[in-house]
């Protein structure tokens, strides 16, 4: 239906094999894995597959995130 970006939070006790299985599931559903850090995955996939990812063992939370609309201030360091 709609291709969105999600934060997938994983349980602390998840094994590397389970993480690999979740990543393979995401890519097989046509999703893109943007980032994997510690116990979190940022991925973009179709919202129709949201329940499939939520039901995977080791998944604690799946929530939509939005990176658009924010402006980042430019920090300029002046030497004296």
24: in domain: yes
The number of distinct structural domains making up the chain is 1
**Domain range spanning residue 27?**
3-64
- Separation CA 80–CA 78 (nearest Å): 6
Q: What is the per-residue pLDDT across 21-75, written as a single tens digit (0 to 9) for each?
A: 999 999 999 999 999 998 999 999 999 999 999 999 999 999 988 767 666 677 7
12 domain-assigned? yes
CATH code for the domain of 35 = 3.30.70.80
In 3D space, the residue among 9, 60, 1, 49 whose CA is nearest the CA of residue 25 turns out to be 49
Q: Decide if 11 contacts 62 (C-beta within 8 A).
A: no
pLDDT class of 80 with cuts at 50, 70, 90: low
What is the average pLDDT across 16-24?
Answer: 94
Asked whether residue 77 is assigned to any structural domain, the reply reads no
Q: Is residue 80 part of a domain?
A: no
């Amino acid at each position: 239906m709609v291709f969105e970006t999600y934060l997938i939070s994983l349980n602390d006790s998840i094994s590397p094999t389970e993480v690999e299985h979740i990543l393979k599931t995401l890519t097989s559903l046509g999703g893109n894995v943007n980032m994997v850090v510690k116990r979190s995955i940022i991925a973009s996939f179709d919202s129709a597959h949201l329940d499939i990812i939520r039901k995977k063992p080791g998944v604690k939370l799946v929530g939509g995130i939005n990176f658009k609309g924010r402006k980042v201030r430019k920090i300029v360091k002046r030497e004296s």
